[in-house]
Amino acid sequence: MPKIDLVREFDNLAADLLRAVDRGRVLHETGNIANSGAPLEHLFRDLVGKRLPEPFRMRTGYLFDAEREVSPQIDAMIVDATTSHEIFRQEDGAGYLPYVSAVAVLEIKNAAGRCAGSIAQIRKIAASIKKMHTRSGVGIEERERRTPLYILVLGTASTNLPELKRALASDEPSPDIIYLIEQGLMLARDDGIFEFSSGHRGFRERMGGDWQIYGPPREHQSRAGWMLQWIYFALLSQIKTFSGNTGIYAEFLNSIERSHSVSNLGKLEAATAWP
């Protein structure tokens, strides 16, 4: 039976993203620092947004609640179109959307330089959304189901390992995932108690232990495509949880999780170079 080469397709998409990273470098070198992250941010929203199932959309902007309080600006967010009625939109495309529609929140930066500021921004966004959920009076179980997945996307971190380690040394809340496009890796916490029996990480695992480095199984050479594919399906898994889908689609995602897993490559704290 013919097969689709998913990793190859995501390799092509990752190559497009890395070209956007390079365009951002060119802008940065000209002194246009304010716009240097725009090529990657716009392309990432477009590539992922076009591949989301209905009725979910990729947007940029702000979230607000019934008290009219507004979150900090969000680079990219996946929202449920059935509840994301837009009050108004700025000329740059940023919209103001109800907080209950947010499925995932992403900060997208061209490079890991000054990553502490990007991590602090996600903390502010998360604190704002948590406050909105708490104030609404929604039960804890429902609140947890509707808590967005927080991801920091970095185009490259080739020379920023020490800076990332310092920024993540705090016990403060942090992104669930830090995705490094050029390195084909991601950073995430373990459970702090047990070793993974398989060494693999599931799409929906959110933990509070030590920061670990994850990547494709060592026998696979297509790092960029493999990791981008994993991030994409992790977002779909978040959509599944948010929408309460427990049917055959959930089983499909579980199969993808098993067949296209990522492996624990070691503790971030102990790393002296990217694996």
Q: What does 44-91 look like in DSSP terms, one character per residue?
A: HHHHHHTTPPTTEEEEEEEEE-TT--BPPPEEEEEEETTT---S-B-T
Distance CA 275, CA 236 (A): 27
- Residue 168 predicted with pLDDT over 60: yes
Distance CA 104, CA 151 (A): 8
Could you tell me the CA-to-CA distances from 12 to 16, 228, 234, 273 in Å, in that order?
Answer: 6, 10, 19, 26
**What is the residue-averaged pLDDT of the chain?**
89
- Residue 189 predicted with pLDDT over 60: yes
Angle made by CA atoms 229, 249, 104, in degrees to the nearest 5: 55
92-102 mean pLDDT: 91
167-190 mean pLDDT: 92
Task: Categorize the per-residue pLDDT at 46 as very low, low, confident or very high, splitting at 50, 70 and 90.
Answer: very high
Distance CA 274, CA 81 (A): 39
Q: Which DSSP letter does residue 152 get?
A: E
The residues near 118 (Cβ < 8 Å, ≥ 6 apart) are 107, 109, 152, 154
Task: Categorize the per-residue pLDDT at 218 as very low, low, confident or very high, splitting at 50, 70 and 90.
Answer: confident
CB 71, CB 125: distance < 8 Å: yes
CB 99, CB 127: distance < 8 Å: no
What is residue 206's predicted lDDT score, i.e. its pLDDT? Answer: 64
Domain ranges of the chain: 6-194+202-267
Q: What is the pLDDT of residues 22-42, one digit of tens each?
A: 999 998 889 887 788 999 999
- Residue 72 predicted with pLDDT over 50: yes
- Residue 197 predicted with pLDDT over 80: no
Q: What is the pLDDT of residues 116-145, one digit of tens each?
A: 999 999 999 999 999 999 888 777 777 777
Distance CA 186, CA 8 (A): 19
- Residue 202 predicted with pLDDT over 70: no
240-257 mean pLDDT: 85
Place of tokens 């940023």: 94
The type of residue at 52 is L
Q: Which DSSP letter does residue 100 get?
A: G
